[in-house]
Amino acid sequence: MTAPVSFFIFAVLFATARRGSSIQCQTCFYLNGTCVEPVEPCEPVFDACISVVIEAKSSVWKVRSTNNQCTTRKKCTPGPIFRDLENGYQEVGNSICCTTDGCNVATPAIPKRDEVLNGLRCPFCNAEGFDTCKEEVISCKGSATHCFTRRAGDKTVTTINDVTTTTYEITQKGCATESFCANAADAGLIFSGNITLWGAPEVICRAAYSGGTNIGSDSTMLYLHILAGLLMTKSFHHCFF
């Protein structure tokens, strides 16, 4: 057997073995639909599958997004996703992490909200169209034990009298669950009153504080979901609502 032929056979066997050792996940993104795509081998850097379903609703409309992806065990944070804004707007969802082939095909069930106050508080605001975010304080409910800040859309920097202000199309703050903090970008859509945005936002979370605790004393955890945005871009090659 000649050297080139031997090398070719080795390369084929290596590629096959490498692909066979990769976890296989369903990869898709849908709005108000169900993923039907077959499972596919993930890249070797991934060792888990994730499925995130988030239902954003107000008193007059409701939109559900489903995002199934390859992921890593380290990045994946399962659990209920809750977030509230004014005027009856809320996000409710769920995420699952799993490590067997095709395990993210089943869509997670939307959990029931826990409306019991948990004694924690967070700053709250919802600014649209580059308005200034005027913070208030709200009481958290159920498993919402984190304070979040979510920024999305185009950024504008203005300087007046040597004071620089940075604003975004949407800035939101409030109470949220740990799973929301980890998976907020995976919804793919950001709704806020009259504005709807695509893409992966910046999400900052920290532990919520009790009534007598200074809000500035909490440690901050930063989740920049650049990877989520890249994965979503890849998803649109597989499916589009």
CB environment 212-234: b (16+ within 10 A), e (fewer): eeeeeebeeeebebeebbebbee
Q: Cα–chain-centroid distance for residue 201?
A: 9
- In 3D space, the residue among 230, 225, 227, 229 whose CA is nearest the CA of residue 205 turns out to be 225
pLDDT top residue among 21 and 78: 78
Residue 64: per-residue pLDDT: 87
**4 occurs within a structural domain:** no
Among 60-69, 140-149, 196-205, the least confident range: 196-205
**148 occurs within a structural domain:** yes
**172 occurs within a structural domain:** yes
Query: Which of 1-10, 17-26, 93-102, 151-160 reaches the highest mean pLDDT?
Result: 93-102
Is the Cβ–Cβ distance between 65 and 95 less than 8 Å? no
Among 17-31, 40-54, 113-127, 184-198, the least confident range: 184-198
Condensed to tens digits (0 to 9), the pLDDT of residues 206-237 reads 999 996 554 543 333 333 333 334 334 344 34
Rounded to two decimals, the pTM is: 0.65
Condensed to tens digits (0 to 9), the pLDDT of residues 70-114 reads 999 988 889 888 876 655 667 888 999 999 999 999 989 998 888
Residue 229: per-residue pLDDT: 42
- Which structural domain range is residue 168 located in? 24-235
The domain total for the chain is 1
**8 occurs within a structural domain:** no
Is pLDDT above 50 for 15?
no
Mean pLDDT, the chain, rounded, equals 73
CA distances from 29 to 6, 162, 178, 240 (A): 42, 44, 22, 7
**149 occurs within a structural domain:** yes
Condensed to tens digits (0 to 9), the pLDDT of residues 31-71 reads 888 889 999 999 999 999 999 998 887 777 788 888 899 99
**41 occurs within a structural domain:** yes
Q: Could you give phi then psi for residue 26, rounded to 5 degrees?
A: -80, 135
Residue 161: per-residue pLDDT: 60
Rounded Cα gap, residues 12 and 191, in angstroms = 47
**Nearest 5°: CA angle at 113, between 148 and 138?**
40
**10 occurs within a structural domain:** no
**159 occurs within a structural domain:** yes
